[in-house]
Amino acid sequence: MFGPIEIPFGCVMLFNAVNLKEGVTVEDVELVLGEMCNVVKNTYGDDEGGFIGGQVFKYAGFISDEGSVGSASDHGKVAESRTADLAIVTYWQSFDQHEKSHADSIFREKFSALGEYCEDTWELGYEMLWQGTAED
């Protein structure tokens, strides 16, 4: 459950940004988030479903000056108004498989439970262009 994942080249990545409602904490959504992720893993995690793996991140507040074009303080001002509380990153064999799974009633039930705690969410899709690991 918490082990490393292997991402095959040529897959797609969906980045779902989650903004929680005022007063809702990450701890408040851990159970519903875990249930949703478990449904995705167990229901769509085969060749037909297309789910490869995923990760959930909590925004930590740091901004890289070295990895930003322009000043980190300028990016910080933008981040204050646009940063999501959580990022749900999932990897799929295809975008069509992702969309089919998310239209399924099993997933929609779990996602709507998470949605009760959210101000908004948005999900962006990316096609992989490169991947690599550190060389020994």
Is residue 117 in some structural domain?
yes
Q: Is residue 135 assigned to a domain?
A: no
Residue 77 falls within a domain, yes or no?
Answer: yes
User: What is the count of structural domains for the chain?
Assistant: 1
Question: What pLDDT is attached to residue 91?
Answer: 97
Whether 132 is in a domain gets the answer no
- CB environment 79-91: b (16+ within 10 A), e (fewer): eeeeebbbebebb
53-77 pLDDT, tens digit each: 999 999 988 777 777 676 656 655 5
> pLDDT for 14-53, tens place per residue?
999 999 999 999 999 999 999 999 999 999 999 999 999 9
Q: pLDDT value at position 76? A: 58
**Which residue range is the domain that position 37 belongs to?**
12-127
Please tell me whether the overall predicted TM-score, pTM, comes out greater than 0.75 for this model.
Answer: yes
